[in-house]
Structure 1
Amino acid sequence: MSLSKNEIINLDVGFTEQRLDSLYSDLGLLREQNEIGYEFNLKAWKRLIIHLMDNGYFDQKIVINGKKLEEKVTIPGYLKPRLDLVINELYKDGELVRLDDFKNSLNGGSLFLPIFQWISNRSFNSGDSNHRLKDIDYLDFEQLKKYTENVASLLEKHRDHYTDRVVHKDSLVQRFSHKFCKEDFELILLFLSKEKKLLQIEGEVVKFGDTPIDESDIAIVSLKKSADQMETELNYLNERLEVTTTNAKTYLKNGNKIMAKSCLKIKKLVELNIERTSSNFYKVSELLNSINHAKNNLAVVNTLESSHYILKQLNGEVGELNHVHELMEAISNETAKVDQVSELLGEASNDVDIDDEYEKLLKEQTEKDNLEDERLTERLKNLKTSESQEKEKTKQPVDQPERYNQKILN
């Protein structure tokens, strides 16, 4: 179903009522007559195509079909746009790649980017002789990388135990079904596996990490699938038990004894099935838990073996204990020789010289301290003399009025 004119105008600022005639004209002719207008239209069409993919106007978010794109943006009363030139530019810039080339390069076991660079340099035309887009599926490579990083980040948070790192592909598809369709998610998993090397895929089994999938991994996935089925069955049985109980009460209230007893019999059967399924579910869960413990134990044992091997290898390089003792004794002898040579050369320290130097420094410091004490004593003496003189000056004016008063009284 094609978009309306108003929908297209609202998707991108470059699409206005006034510019539709230009945008839906022959871009090839426009390129020859008005290069600036051609570049403007080209950028507007590129943005529009990316908007259409981002906002879910196609079945997939990261894959677009040439013919479906052309049908989607065709507006009655306007010429068919030269989208082949737009797709060619997006392909040349590496924003779109042919889906088949992408799959073949990854499934072939070769690195994708070098292959893609070689493909991009080849002559490529997305349109036929009438400039209509061919029926080719294109992958939005930039969107793929963005979604791949998001999925990888989310998956990394749920890998606490070994059994969490081995899953059935359908469970992953179901987990991300609200974000991607199955086809898109398959491409994301393929990219994570072949290009990013973050997981392994074998049939319906997906394993995180770079270790190959073995029989134990397949068995774990089978157990987890059984556990999921039992959990679904338990949910159904519990709902049925609730309905049967409600029905029995209703029939009993209405006086329908036969139907009430029938519902009670069904209730007993449902309760029995719940008990059996719960028991089996517990056994499978316990088995998965034991597998996690066993894997942890194996990892510890492997670490101990590696550590033992490294220590043994290092000790082997060190040699026998007798050799170490001999080496230490030899070093001690050589050190003694160094001391003897230093003493002969006069480099060894002389205790007598050190004592003389110490006495000399002590005498100089004592004389310096005595001189400083004498200076302080002299300054203190002068200070006391000055204070006495000041007191005498202050006392003299006070005494005179007192004697004068005594004379008047007499």
Structure 2
Amino acid sequence: MSSLIDWLVENEPAFRKTRLPSLYSDLAVQKTSNPEGYAANVTAWQAALTRAALAGQLPFEQRLILQTSDDLLNALASPHYGRPSGLGCVLDDCVRHGKMIDLQDFLVSEKSIYNRSWLPSPWAILRWSLRQVGIVGTASYEVPGGRLKKGGLVLVPALEEVWKKMQVLQDTQTQSLTDRIVSRDLFLKEMNSLFSGPVSLSDQDINVLLRYLARDKHALSYDDTTIKFKSPAAPMPEPITQEDHSIASLKTLIANLNSQIENLTSRISTLQSNAQIAVKTGNKASALSALRSKKLAERSLQSRIDTLHQLEEVYTKIEAAVDQVEVVAAMEASAGVLKTLNKKIGGVERVDDVLDSLREEMSKVDEVSGVVADPLAGNAVLDEAEVDDELENMEREERIKREEKSREQKKKLEIQEAEVTRRRLAELEGQPAAQAPSTESEKNKENMQIADVDLERSLSSSIDKLQKLDIDGLQHRQNEDQQHQQPQKVAEGT
């Protein structure tokens, strides 16, 4: 197997060795004989081509674009199964479902790739009709003879994968204006850091990615040299200004100086090592040459360090000025809000009028509350005679209830006594006069019943005595109250 097929077998679950015969078979025949198997094979090829492109395994130095030609078929060829048959059908199906888009159509279209209309275009209807009658249209990637049409296809799943990685990267960074502005070169370096492998993004890859981020994700605005990401608070990206170009150029210079300083530092270290080796070997000329070159590199390094410090100071000032602009803009907006609210309030005089009116209405409420409460507080007169009559009625009802309860208890006691007497008579009639109760338990039971009867009698007697005492005491207290109230009434009458 070729290296690309080895990589697919190792990294793609759908490209198991047992599935290779089906994947490399004639997919045009599978489309009619086995639709489910055809759909599974199309999905497997689409995912495999996308991941191979992102990993830099395809024979083209591109990550986001699939170049279709016989070179792709040769790269995918297997020693056992040959070149994949029907790969053009796979590409046509991916284009039809929006997984792959023609490169030129992607770059020139103003409509988002996610804006799908339910009405098919006339060209799509015509192409479908030609395929139904067996005529392959010019837009098809299936060329007779097992070949592929030459062209470029944008891999939409690859773009979506890069977008996810960019979102994770942006979440870890600050979102100030200077951080959101980068040059095209710095953007290329940052994007290449997201990928592994020797293959980096090409110019076409960058053009496709920027077009996707600006048109389909509304994440940034860009031109030939500068890229400006959207602010988190803004609904849409802002246009690029001359100040943005200056900030991007300054950041690029700082990045280049940092790279030059690293290279010069490494060169100085190498020259120092060469001079030491020359001294050890006694090669005085080589040692002097290395030392001279080292001195020149040190001067150049110091010059670049000084320049870098100046540029970094300028960049710091720009960051401070940007922050001040944002602060002033926020203060200006806040002042406008306060001005609008103060207009609604109407000034201090209106507030005083409102407070005076509020106090007046509150005092009216207090006056009404006082008027409502006066009859209850001072004009209500209690009739003591009615109170005494109501109390006497309540006591009479309570006394009647107690008497009824006492009569019921007496009646129960009489019934119990009669029952005990009846049992004794029955026992006396059924046994000889000299014979004692049969068992000790019966004796105890009889004694307990007698004790219960005696206890109930004593309780009933005690209850009667207490009721009599309560009634006598109550009458005595009422008489004393009447005798005490008569002198007061006489005094009030006089």
TM-score in terms of structure 2 length? 0.60
Matches within 5 A, 1:1-400: 13=14, 20=21, 24-25=25-26, 27-32=27-32, 34=33, 37-55=34-52, 56=55, 57-58=57-58, 59=60, 60-67=62-69, 68-74=71-77, 81-105=85-109, 108=110, 110-114=111-115, 122-123=124-125, 124=127, 126-127=140-141, 130=144, 133-159=148-174, 161-178=176-193, 179=195, 181-182=201-202, 183-209=204-230, 210-344=237-371, 346=372, 350-351=376-377
Contact conserved, 2:221 with 2:227, CA < 8 A, in 1? Answer: yes
Q: Which residue of 2 aligns with 1:368?
A: none
Q: CA deviation at 1:159?
A: 3.0
CA offset digits 1:329-367 (Å, max 9, x no partner) = 1222223333434555x367955699x9xxx9xxxxxxx
The whole-number CA distance in structure 1 between the counterparts of 2:169 and 2:120 is: 32
When structure 1 is superposed on structure 2, of 16-25 and 333-342 the one drifting more is 16-25
Question: Deviation at 1:238?
Answer: 2.0
Any idea what the Cα deviations from partners look like across 1:151-196, whole Å, max 9, x if unmatched?
Answer: 1221342335532221112112123325152343443332222222
Instruction: Confirm or deny: 8 A CA contact 2:213 2:219 kept in the other structure.
Output: yes
Deviations 1:190-239 (A, max 9, x none): 22222222222121211122222211111112222222222222222222
Cα distance in 1 for residues equivalent to 2:347 and 2:210: 55
Larger mean Cα displacement after TM superposition, 235-244 or 310-319: 235-244
- Residue of structure 1 equivalent to 2:474: none
Instruction: Quote the offset at 1:315 in angstroms.
Output: 0.5
Amino acid at match of 1:112: I
Aligned to 2:227, the other structure's residue is in SS state strand
Percent of aligned positions with the same letter in both sequences? 22
For the residues of structure 2 that align with 1:112 and 1:22, how far apart are their CA atoms? 29
Equivalenced residue count is 348
Distance 1:274 1:309, change over 3 A: same
Report which of the two structures shows the higher radius of gyration computed on alpha carbons: 2
| 1:54, distance to aligned residue in structure 2 (A) | 0.6
| C-alpha displacement of 1:280 | 0.8
Q: CA offsets, 1:57-88, max 9 Å, x none?
A: 42344432343544444557768623343333
Deviates more, 1:148-157 or 1:242-251: 242-251
**Would the aligned equivalents of 1:91 and 1:120 in 2 still touch at CA under 8 Å?**
no
1:271 and 1:4 mapped to 2: Cα distance? 48
* Alpha-carbon distance in structure 1 between the residues aligned to 2:82 and 2:292: 71
Distance 1:86 1:219 in 2: 47
Q: What SS does the corresponding residue of 1:200 show, helix, strand or coil?
A: strand
Q: Please, which runs of 5 or more residues in structure 1 have no aligned partner?
A: 361-410
Alpha-carbon distance in 2 for matches of 1:234, 1:217: 26
Tell me the amino acid that sits aligned with residue 49 of structure 1.
Answer: Q
Separation in 1, partners of 2:363, 2:15: 90
Q: Is the 8 A contact 2:143 2:149 kept in 1?
A: no
Cα distance in 2 for partners of 1:249, 1:112 equals: 63
How far residue 243 of structure 1 moved from its aligned partner, in angstroms, is 2.9
Aligned ranges for residues 399-410 of structure 1 at < 5 Å? none
Q: How well do the aligned residues superpose, as a CA RMSD in angstroms? A: 3.7
Can you give the 5+ residue segments of structure 2 that lack an aligned partner in the other structure?
A: 128-138, 231-236, 388-494
Give the 3 Å change call, closer, same or farther, for CA 88–255 of structure 1 in structure 2.
closer
Alpha-carbon distance in 1 for matches of 2:375, 2:157: 76
Q: Which amino acid aligns with 2:140?
A: S
Whole-angstrom CA distance in 2 between matches of 1:350 and 1:340: 15
Give the stretch that moved more between structures: 12-21 or 218-227: 12-21
